[in-house]
Amino acid sequence: MWCEGYFIDGNHPEGWRTIVCNGPGKVCVAGMDDKEGEVWCMEGTCDPVANCIGLDFTKKSNGAVGVLTAKPCPEGIVFPDGSKWTKFDASTSSASAFLGAYIDLHHPEGWRTIAACGPDEAIVAGMDDKDGAPWCTKGTMADGKLGIDFTKKSEGAVGELPCEVVEKGIMFPDGSVWEHKICRKMKAKPHMWCEGYFIDGNHPEGWRTIVCNGPGKVCVAGMDDKEGEVWCMEGTCDPVANCIGLDFTKKSNGAVGVLTAKPCPEGIVFPDGSKWTKFDASTSSASAFLGAYIDLHHPEGWRTIAACGPDKVMVAGMDDKEGEVWCTKGYIDDGKLCIDFAKKSNGAVGILEAECVPQGITFPGGGFWCNKPRSIAMA
């Protein structure tokens, strides 16, 4: 979500805040006001249509402040009085794959959150039970794993433990798992409100996918019917206005230009009232693979993946800047994404299994699709 990540509050520049989605319509906020202060936490709500979050400062302020509404701004989030929390750009952080809210099965009544706070660092916060004291520590990336320092929390009994992303959450060397509180699956990648798989009411037998492929940018691919050609277009996203602009010039042969779309309960809506209805990917085992990628064998092209069923994805791409757009389908089997390349390769290649890693997805034989940087303000 656009509101998730690591922030610096301008009123407390030596402290920090993290915001992580921890359930449908909910966020968990943790922070410190200075380097040596106590860790605090609060709950909040998120409204994807109104594009805002509500944070309950009652406990933190001893009743002096209640719920405050925050909205996205170029720096991060802004409150009604104009104060801002500046967001860390996690788009190139190797720790960003670990973003999420978790349940430690050894402390089922508590919670843990992780957010990238540096190129290879993350801040980890948590509580062991409902009425316990919140704690925090840091983690450092090495060899694709996040080493979390439990020295202070355990009073020296435990040091740094490396963890890795698995299907259910993250796993430690002894096999213990912190399970995701919401369905992020293997790659804890935040999703923008506009991203996903859609059906255009004007072309019900076709499909569209929208995926963020860079700061302020989206890539759209689609077909208008089952046997038609695959097309693509570029677009922009504006987190402050809460809209995307899609350039239909090429698709319409110049008859239509850029159209602005905004969120609606069904998905997205255009100025003429037409809608693209979004597939609900919140419980799809394929949602972890959502993203825009660069195939290192075709560095001038692109690939996008979006969940289109409980265990299915739509894959689209181009191999170079002027090439044809292609698409294929994939499905999840035992936590891996199986992509059918038979049509694309004219039968030379069949189904290949892909696995999530923090930097992208890997294929047998060393093939690698690298994550493209995602939008900061909306991711």
Whether residues 52 and 131 fall in one domain: yes
Q: How far apart are CA 163 and CA 161, in angstroms?
A: 7
Q: Provide the 10 A C-beta neighbour count for residue 271.
A: 9
Position 326 scores a pLDDT of: 96
Do the domain assignments include residue 263?
yes
Question: Does one domain contain both 174 and 211?
Answer: no
Please check whether residue 110 lies inside any domain of the structure. yes
**Is residue 323 within 8 Å of 303, Cβ to Cβ?**
no
pLDDT of 374: 55
Is residue 197, in this structure, part of any structural domain at all? Answer: yes
Residue finishing a domain among 182, 203, 220: 182
Report whether 85 contacts 17 (CB < 8 A).
yes
Let me know whether 245 and 300 are in one domain.
yes
C-alpha to C-alpha distance for 169 and 30, rounded to whole angstroms? 20
pLDDT of residue 182: 62
Give the Å distances, CA to CA, from 179 to 1, 99, 112, 216: 19, 12, 10, 31
Answer yes or no: is 187 within a domain: no
Same domain, residue pair 143 and 216: no
Range of the domain at 244: 193-379
* Amino acid in the structure at residue 349: V
Q: Is 188 inside a domain boundary?
A: no
- Asked if 82 and 148 touch (Cβ cutoff 8 Å), the reply is no
Looking at the fold, whether 173 and 226 belong to one and the same domain comes out as: no
Domain boundary among 157, 182, 207: 182
In this structure, the answer to whether residues 158 and 256 fall within a common structural domain is no
Residue 311 included in any domain: yes
Within the chain, which residues score under 70 in pLDDT? Answer: 49, 182-191, 358, 373-379
Q: Identify whether residues 152 and 253 lie together within a single domain.
A: no
Same domain, 206 and 319: yes
Residues 214-241: pLDDT tens digits? Answer: 778 899 999 999 888 999 999 998 877 8
| Residues 212 and 315 reside in one and the same domain | yes
Asked whether residue 27 falls in the same domain as residue 173, the answer is yes
The distance in angstroms from the start CA to the end CA of the chain is 5
Q: Which of 182, 215, 236 is the last residue of a domain?
A: 182
Considering the domain architecture, whether residues 71 and 30 belong to the same structural domain is answered as: yes
In a domain, 19, yes or no: yes
Tally of domains within the chain = 2
In a domain, 13, yes or no: yes
Verify that 38 and 153 share a domain, yes or no: yes
d(CA 39, CA 366): 43
Computed over its alpha carbons, how large is the radius of gyration of the chain? 21
